[in-house]
C-alpha cells in the first residue's frame, strides 16, 4: 500500500484525494496540509488522514512514502525540492514551477539525486483519445507527420484570467502534448491575434498559437476561452499519407427530427475525468513497484515553462520567438516518452 501525503487540499487536491481514496488501488492518503488550516482539517477528518501544519511536515512524515503537490503554482518549487531532498517520489500538479530558474533548480536537485523522483501533472498523455492518436501516428500508417491542427475551447474563464494565461495556463497543455506526440522539442513560437470576441470583454480572445517543432512539423493551436457552447478539445494530425483525428469524448449520439447531436463536456474536469484517474493509477503502480515515475518528467515541466514564456513574449511583441533551452541532462534522455 503506497502511503501518500497531499500538500494543498483545494479544488484539484480534493479531486485527487477523492480518486486516491475511492477509485484507485494500492494507495492510501495518510497526511495532508494546507495554508488554509480549516480546509485541511476538514479534509483530513473526512478521510482519516493526519493533518500537518506545513507541507514540509508532510514530506518529512515517516508515514508518507510519496508526495502529491496540489498547492498554488508559486509554492511548488519548495515542496518538490523538499521531496527530492527527502528522496521521496513527488507528483506535482502543473506547473512544475512558475519560473524557468525554479525549474532548473529542480532539475539540478533531481540530477544530483541520480534518478527520477518527479512527475508533473500533464494529464493529456493519459487520455484514451490522445493515446489512440499517438498510436495511429507511431504505427506509421499515415506516414510522416507534417502539421497538426488543435483547438482548446473553454466555455468561459473566471474574472481573474489575464491575457497571458491563454498561453501559460490553457495552451500549456497543448505545448506538453505536442512535445510528447512528436517526440521532439518546440523550436519557435508565434502568436496571431484574430478579431476579438465580444464574449470575453476586454480579454484578447481568441488567439492562434503557432508552434514550430524542431523536426519541421508545424502545429496551430486555436485558444478560445469564451466559446460558450462547452469545453471542446480538438486535434488533427496531417501526415504524408493520411490524417488522424482525435476522437470525441461522447459515448452517445442522439438522432431525431432530421438532426444528430452529441453532448459536449461542460468543462475540463468532465472531459479529462478518466485521464486523471489513469494518470494517478499509473503513477501509484510505478512507484509501488519501486520504479521511477514514467509520466511527464521535471524536464517536461521545464520545457513547458520555456515554451510558454516564449509564447507570452510572442504575444506581447508580435514577433516569432526562437526557443532556447538548457542542455538536457542525461537522466532525461533515457526517460520514457
Ligand atoms: N492538471 C490540470 O489540468 C490542473 C487542473 C487544475 C489545477 N491544476 C493545478 O493545481 C494547482 C492547484 O490548483 P487548484 O485549482 O486546486 O487551486 P485551489 O486554489 O483550489 O487550491 C490550492 C490550495 O493550495 C493551498 N495552498 C496555497 N499555498 C499553499 C502552501 N504554501 N502550502 C500548502 N497549501 C497551500 C490553498 O490554500 C488552496 O487550498 C495549481 O498549480 C493548478 O495549476 C492543474
How confident is the prediction for the chain on average, in pLDDT? 96
Q: What pTM, to 2 d.p., does this model score? A: 0.96
**Whether the bond into 165 is cis, omega within 30 of 0:** no
% of residues, the chain, pLDDT over 90: 96
Distance 78 CA to ligand 1 centre (A): 14
The mean per-residue pLDDT over the stretch 22-45 comes to: 97
Distance 34 CA to ligand 1 centre (A): 10
Distance 279 CA to ligand 1 centre (A): 18
Distance 219 CA to ligand 1 centre (A): 29
Residue 337 has pLDDT above 60, yes or no: no
What integer pLDDT is reported at residue 198 of this predicted model? 95
What would the pLDDT profile of 19-33 be if each residue is shown by its tens digit?
999 999 999 999 999
What integer pLDDT is reported at residue 336 of this predicted model? 45
Split at pLDDT 50, 70, 90, the class of 10 is: very high
% of residues, the chain, pLDDT over 70: 99
> What are the two backbone dihedrals, phi and then psi, of residue 307, each rounded to the nearest 5 degrees?
-70, -40
Out of 72, 161, 168, mutate this one to test ligand 1's pocket (max ligand atoms within 8 Å of CB): namely: 72
Q: Which three cell numbers stand for residue 205?
A: 480572445
The mean per-residue pLDDT over the stretch 283-309 comes to: 95
What would the pLDDT profile of 125-140 be if each residue is shown by its tens digit?
999 999 999 999 999 9
Unique residue bearing C-alpha cell 488550516? 37
Beta bridge partners of 3: 28
What integer pLDDT is reported at residue 207 of this predicted model? 98
List, in sequence order, every beta strand (DSSP E) within the chain.
2-7, 27-33, 50-51, 66-69, 90-92, 118-120, 145-153, 186-192, 207-213, 218-224, 232-239, 242-245, 254-256, 259-261, 321-322
Pocket of ligand 1 (CB under 6 A): 7-13, 33-36, 39, 55, 70-73, 75, 93-94, 121, 123
Distance 150 CA to ligand 1 centre (A): 27
More confident residue, 292 or 227: 227
| CATH class for the domain made up of 2-123+275-295 | alpha beta
The mean per-residue pLDDT over the stretch 70-89 comes to: 98
What would the pLDDT profile of 47-62 be if each residue is shown by its tens digit?
999 999 999 999 999 9
What integer pLDDT is reported at residue 335 of this predicted model? 53
> What are the two backbone dihedrals, phi and then psi, of residue 93, each rounded to the nearest 5 degrees?
-55, 155
Please report, for the chain, the start and end positions of each structural domain, with discontinuous segments joined by +.
2-123+275-295, 125-271+304-322
The mean per-residue pLDDT over the stretch 288-307 comes to: 95
Distance 43 CA to ligand 1 centre (A): 15
- Minimum-distance ligand 1 atom for the alpha carbon of 71: 24
What would the pLDDT profile of 164-202 be if each residue is shown by its tens digit?
999 999 999 999 999 999 999 999 999 999 999 999 999
| Among the four given CATH numbers 3.40.50.300, 3.40.309.10, 3.40.640.10, 3.30.360.10, the one describing domain 125-271+304-322 | 3.30.360.10
Out of 5, 7, 12, mutate this one to test ligand 1's pocket (max ligand atoms within 8 Å of CB): namely: 12
- Minimum-distance ligand 1 atom for the alpha carbon of 169: 43
Amino acid at each position: 500500500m503506497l502511503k501518500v501525503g497531499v500538500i494543498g487540499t483545494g479544488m484539484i487536491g480534493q479531486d485527487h484525494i477523492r480518486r486516491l481514496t475511492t477509485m484507485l488501488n494500492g494507495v492510501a492518503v495518510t497526511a495532508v496540509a494546507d495554508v488554509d488550516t480549516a480546509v485541511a482539517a476538514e479534509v483530513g477528518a473526512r478521510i482519516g488522514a493526519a493533518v500537518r501544519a506545513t507541507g514540509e511536515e508532510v514530506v518529512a512524515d515517516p508515514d508518507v512514502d510519496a508526495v502529491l503537490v496540489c498547492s498554488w503554482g508559486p509554492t511548488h518549487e519548495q515542496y518538490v525540492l523538499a521531496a527530492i531532498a527527502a528522496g521521496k517520489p513527488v507528483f506535482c500538479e502543473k506547473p512544475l514551477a512558475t519560473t524557468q530558474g525554479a525549474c532548473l533548480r529542480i532539475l539540478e536537485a533531481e540530477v544530483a539525486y541520480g534518478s527520477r523522483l518527479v512527475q508533473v501533472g500533464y494529464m493529456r498523455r493519459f487520455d484514451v483519445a490522445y493515446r489512440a492518436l499517438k498510436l495511429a501516428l507511431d504505427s506509421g500508417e499515415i506516414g510522416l507527420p507534417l502539421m497538426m491542427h488543435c483547438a482548446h475551447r473553454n466555455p468561459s474563464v473566471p474574472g481573474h484570467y489575464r491575457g497571458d494565461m491563454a498561453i501559460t495556463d490553457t495552451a500549456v497543455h497543448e505545448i506538453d502534448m505536442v512535445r510528447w506526440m512528436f517526440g521532439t522539442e518546440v523550436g519557435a513560437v508565434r502568436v496571431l491575434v484574430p478579431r476579438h470576441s465580444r464574449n470575453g470583454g476586454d480579454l484578447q480572445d481568441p488567439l492562434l498559437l503557432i508552434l514550430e517543432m524542431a523536426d519541421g512539423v508545424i502545429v496551430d493551436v486555436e485558444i478560445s476561452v469564451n466559446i460558450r457552447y462547452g469545453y471542446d478539445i480538438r486535434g488533427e494530425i496531417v501526415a504524408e499519407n493520411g490524417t488522424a483525428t482525435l476522437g470525441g469524448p461522447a459515448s452517445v449520439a442522439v438522432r431525431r427530427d432530421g438532426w444528430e447531436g452529441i453532448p459536449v463536456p461542460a468543462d475540463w474536469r468532465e472531459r479529462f475525468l478518466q485521464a486523471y484517474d489513469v494518470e494517478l493509477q499509473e503513477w501509484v503502480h510505478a512507484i509501488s513497484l519501486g520504479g521511477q515515475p514514467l509520466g511527464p518528467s521535471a524536464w517536461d515541466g521545464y520545457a513547458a515553462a520555456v515554451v510558454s514564456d516564449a509564447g507570452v513574449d510572442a504575444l506581447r511583441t508580435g514577433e516569432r520567438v526562437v526557443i532556447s533551452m538548457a542542455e538536457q541532462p542525461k537522466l532525461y534522455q533515457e526517460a520514457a516518452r
